[in-house]
Amino acid sequence: MISNIRDGLSKRRILLLVILCILGLGVSQSKGKRTRKPRGDNRVYLNHADVLRYDQMINPEAQILNGHVSFRHNGATLTCDSAHFYEASNSFEAFGHVYMKQGDTLSLKSDYAFYDGNEQMAIARRNVLLVHRKTKLYTDSLNYDRLYNTGYFFEGGKLVDKENTLTSDWGEYNTETKMATFNYDVKLKNPKYFIDTDTIHYDVHTSVAHVRGPSWITSGESKIYTEEADYDSRNDRSELMGRSKITNKQRTIIGDSIFYDSKNKISRGYNNVIYTDEGNKNMFLGDYAMYNETTGYGEASRNAVAIDYSQKDTLWMHADSFKIYTYNINTDSVYRVVHAFNKVRAYRVDLQAVCDSLVFNSKDSCMTMYKDPITWNEGQQMLGDKIQLFTNDSTVRFAHVTGNAFSIQQLPDKEHYNQLSSKELMAFFTNGEIRMTEAVGNVLSLFYPQEEKDSSLILLNYNETDTMRMYFAPKRKLQKIWASKSTGNMYPLSQIPPNRRELPGFAWYDYVRPLNKDDIFQWRGKRRGDNDPLPPSVRRAAPLQTIPDSLKAKEVKKETLTDQNNEIPDSLSSAEGDKKIEGETPETAAPAVDPSVEEKQKSSEEKQEPQEESPQAEEQGKEGSDE
């Protein structure tokens, strides 16, 4: 009968080992084929028993021991109330208050145990307690392999150390490496966190839990889901792999790899990171993200995208890097400042923008764009040195452009543009629709009035002034224009001068404009010649007169004649000068007159006496003056 029990237990042990090997949870094996080699004297010795007897009827192969039974084997002692000692097979069964002790660090208690001295295997059942230093393992079924210092439990177990309590359906614990493997319905409890998972490899020495399989980790207000993680309970740090998720109140971070420091409240995500703030209804995407819950500082980079879905239409913004600063955190006056820099591109159905850097302050809901900022709203383009947009619940209420402000509206025919340039431009909105604009300083305007019936163009209105205000009806319809003292002209469409079709610095940057939420990743700079910002207005002086080359040739001719005749007639000099001032060329000017002929004509004119007018002619002249 005992041999059948031993055979059954042996078969059961072999079956268990096979299962553990198949699942990858077997005992750690050394290189090469594993062999069981006994250490020293392998015999089991009986130290003491109050009563020893044989009973052929009960068990002919065993010595029946009762009262203070004690055995020893390879440095370990075992005591119990009674036992059956199988000396031939070098094994025994122990009953009642079974207690095995190995050195000063390991002990085993149970109600029943079978010990095989050849295999150095202790099989303990019912109310089993394995104690190793400060670690305790509670179970009802435990097989302890003394050769490899490993205990296996398979009917539920609980491992307790200084800080943690670990439970599962079955697993193993190695007293030499202090590694525990728990499987199926695993729960790890700690005063600071709780883990619910499928498999845990727990290092008792370092208090690091290696989590495998679908797992939920709760730490304070933070909840973590992962399928592969390493959790350092001593330092409250988590390394999450395999698409993990951290939720803290209304904030969530998801990534392929996440490092979370629960003590310092710092989380870092790598590759396909998604940070969501449900309270503010915004998101950050990227291949790297970091957030400090204590200070409220965060950053995102590597294909970073900021998303705001607080309105009907979602705003998508891309930049090389984003940084978030939180001020007065955990108070009623908390506010945030977001910095986006290098190649910023934003897209929303009704609004698009590009710039080099951007700052958003939630305190006054102001978004400021720097370095070549451009915004588009339907057919409207606005640019300047700096653009500020003030919002109310993500809806624009006021826009302020400073320095080289330029507003362009593309008309429906796609060929004509209403244009306005100034030093400063302000726009006021109601429910997201523009109602009034005010341009201040060196204002130039170019507008095409339209027929109300068919919206056909009437003429071109060009104005120069110092201040101009424009008032709009709903749907951007221009109602009236007010301007200070101004000068300008109106041109029929067929008589517009070429230099009046566009204001200085005009450029329509439709090729830079983001087309959709995916186009924000495609940076397109200004074309060559359009890269510089609008040039400041320069006051130009009147051009200086220069002497034409033809006139210089005449002067040379004069000098030659002077050398020959020592004098040049005044009539020649006066005639030549008058003709050159009028811009005549040598080919069209009158031929030069010979000096000798000119002198004879002059002398004859001097000899002639002036003639007196007749009374009749004088009277006719008076009558003509009166008329």
Query: What pLDDT digit, counting tens, does each position of 341-381 carry?
Result: 999 999 999 889 999 999 999 888 899 999 999 999 888 89
The pair phi, psi for residue 256, each rounded to 5°, is -65, -35
Read off the pLDDT of residues 529-564 as tens digits, 9 standing for 90 and up: 664 544 554 444 444 445 555 555 555 555 554 444
Mean pLDDT across 416-427: 94
Ramachandran category for residue 365: left, alpha or beta (phi over 0 → left; psi -120 to 50 → alpha): left
Based on its alpha-carbon atoms, the radius of gyration of the chain, rounded to whole angstroms, reads 50
Looking up residue 132, the CATH number of its domain turns out to be: 2.60.450.10
Q: What is the pLDDT of residues 95-121, one digit of tens each?
A: 999 999 998 889 999 999 999 999 899
pLDDT in tens, 87-97: 889 999 999 99
CA-to-CA distance for 318 and 539, rounded, in angstroms?
Answer: 40
Helix axes 549-565, 570-581, angle to 10 degrees: 180
Name the E strands within 432-523: 433-447, 459-473, 477-483, 487-492
For residue 154, give the DSSP letter. Answer: -
Count of beta carbons in the 10 Å neighbourhood of residue 620: 11
Tell me the average pLDDT across 9-32. Answer: 46
Q: What pLDDT shows up at residue 163?
A: 80
* Residue 144 located in a structural domain: yes
> Between residues 287 and 565, which one has the greater pLDDT?
287
How far apart, in whole angstroms, are the C-alpha atoms of residue 268 and residue 265? 10
Look at residue 296 and tell me if it is in a domain. Answer: yes
The answer, yes or no, to whether residue 456 has pLDDT greater than 90, is no
User: What is the arithmetic mean of pLDDT over 332-344?
Assistant: 92
Does any domain span residue 58?
yes
The predicted model scores a pTM of 0.66
Q: Is residue 247 part of a domain?
A: yes
Position 617 in a domain? no
Total number of domains constituting the chain: 1
Q: How confident is the model at residue 583 (pLDDT cuts 50, 70, 90)?
A: very low
Phi, psi (degrees; rounded to nearest 5) at 104:
-105, 0
pLDDT band at residue 234, thresholds of 50, 70 and 90?
A: confident
pLDDT band at 575 (very low <50, low <70, confident <90, very high): very low
Q: How far apart are CA 173 and CA 432, in angstroms?
A: 67
Give residue-wise pLDDT tens across range 138-169. Answer: 999 999 999 899 999 988 999 998 888 999 99
60, exposed or middle or buried, with CB in 10 Å at 0-12, 13-18, 19+?
exposed
Residue 184 lies in a domain: yes
Of the candidates 189, 188, 192, 190, which has an alpha carbon nearest to the alpha carbon of residue 210?
188
Closest CA to 94 of 131, 72, 103, 74: 72
In a domain, 161, yes or no: yes
Amino acid at 226: T
Q: How far is CA 350 from CA 291, 359, 435, in A?
A: 31, 21, 16
> Where in the sequence is the domain holding 180, given as residue range(s)?
50-364
Q: What is the rounded CA–CA span in Å between residue 327 and residue 337?
A: 8
**Coil, strand or helix at 544:** coil
- Domain-located, residue 307: yes
